[in-house]
């Protein structure tokens, strides 16, 4: 599945693997001038290349190296002779995607990307007349960056925002680092967030502040209950409830317990 819309000069490319009529997870890529921000997952390769017919892609910039963001780096690079840029710590995964060690659900929904060759991002990168500040925003992974256009007040946030609430954490994510990154981003003047999960989000600065407030209050609840002597499992049940289908489908890779454990500094 792939659908295209426009928000001002930004082309929004929403895609995901179709399993019959069901699309279990959707991800967004964004095209601005001659720059493609992320390339979705390998399952939509032919659809993405068709969607880019008539465009001129000179650069691909990756927010991070996960398989749903670099899945078509190689195909787009080959088609347009485009250069790829990512955080320096993401480059080894672009070159050797097998190092991602995907779990069964990740293989089913996204699949392994083909290897691609990238260059390290600097502090800024251009997209035609637009200029992005490159902002390191770890937590979802260490090599995660966001792209901020200060004149337009656009924030391309990768997977660091993903909505105002919070329940599930990946086993390899760091809750407190996510909060720190969101606090840094919330200090920016942001009108529109271009979120990899949700697409365009209006009132961006307010949305970021709401997310920070939610996560800080959740952290305070967890720490207070821990101080009162509740176990991590008891805390999870009290503040987030029982585990749901997300945990079962990902064999625990995403879970509410991961959220509580990360807040408490319990390492897996």
44-98, pLDDT tens digit by residue?
Answer: 999 999 999 999 999 999 999 999 999 999 999 999 999 999 999 999 999 999 9
For position 109, which CATH number holds? 3.60.15.10
Inside any domain, residue 147: no
Output the pTM of the full model. Answer: 0.97
Inside any domain, residue 151: no
Distance of CA 141 to the CA centre of its chain: 9
Inside any domain, residue 182: no
Contact 209, 182 (CB under 8 A): no
Judged on CB neighbours under 10 Å (0-12, 13-18, 19+), 266 is exposed
Buried b (16+ CB within 10 A) or exposed e, 76-108: bbeebebebbbbebbbebbeebeebebeeebee
Inside any domain, residue 150: no
Q: What domain range is 14 assigned to?
A: 1-124
Inside any domain, residue 192: no
Inside any domain, residue 120: yes
Strand partners, 154: 149, 192
For residue range 110-154, list pLDDT tens digits in order: 999 999 999 999 999 999 999 999 999 999 999 999 999 999 999
DSSP single-letter state for residue 153: T
Contact 147, 133 (CB under 8 A): yes
| 190 CB-near residues (< 8 Å, 6+ apart) | 148, 153, 154, 155, 204, 205, 208
In this structure, the number of other CB atoms found within 10 A of the CB of residue 1 comes to 15
* Tokens, residue 58: 């000179």
Inside any domain, residue 56: yes
Inside any domain, residue 214: no
For residue range 174-218, list pLDDT tens digits in order: 999 999 999 999 999 999 999 999 999 999 999 999 999 999 999
Run of H or E including 249: helix 245-249
C-alpha–C-alpha distance, residues 221 and 145, integer Å: 29
Angle at Cα 230 formed by Cα 228 and Cα 231, nearest 5°? Answer: 145
- Torsions phi, psi of 140, nearest 5? -70, -40
- Torsions phi, psi of 100, nearest 5? -70, -25
* Tokens, residue 252: 């625990």
Domains in the chain: how many in total? Answer: 1
């Amino acid at each position: 599945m792939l659908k295209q819309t426009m928000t001002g000069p930004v082309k929004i490319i929403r895609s995901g693997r179709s399993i019959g009529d069901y699309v279990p997870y959707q991800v967004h890529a964004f095209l601005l001038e001659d720059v493609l921000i992320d390339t979705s997952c390998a399952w939509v390769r032919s659809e993405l290349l068709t969607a880019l017919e008539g465009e001129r892609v000179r650069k691909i910039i990756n927010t991070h190296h996960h398989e749903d963001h670099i899945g078509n780096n190689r195909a787009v690079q080959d088609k347009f002779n485009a250069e790829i840029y990512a955080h320096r710590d993401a480059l080894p995964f672009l070159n050797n995607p097998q190092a991602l060690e995907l779990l069964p659900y990740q293989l089913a929904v996204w699949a392994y990307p083909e290897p691609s060759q990238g260059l390290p991002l600097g502090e800024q990168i251009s997209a035609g007349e637009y200029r992005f500040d490159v902002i390191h925003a770890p937590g979802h992974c260490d090599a995660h960056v966001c792209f901020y256009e200060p004149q337009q007040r656009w924030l391309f946030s990768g997977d660091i925002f993903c909505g105002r609430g919070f329940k599930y954490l990946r086993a390899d994510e760091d809750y407190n680092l996510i909060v720190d990154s969101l606090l840094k981003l919330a200090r920016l003047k942001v009108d529109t967030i271009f979120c990899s999960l949700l697409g365009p989000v209006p009132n961006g600065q307010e949305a970021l502040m709401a997310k920070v407030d939610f996560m800080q209050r959740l952290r305070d609840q967890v720490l207070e209950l821990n101080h009162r002597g509740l176990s991590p499992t008891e805390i999870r049940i009290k503040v987030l409830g029982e585990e749901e289908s997300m945990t079962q489908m990902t064999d625990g890779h995403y879970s509410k317990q991961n959220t509580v454990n990360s807040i408490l500094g319990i390492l897996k």
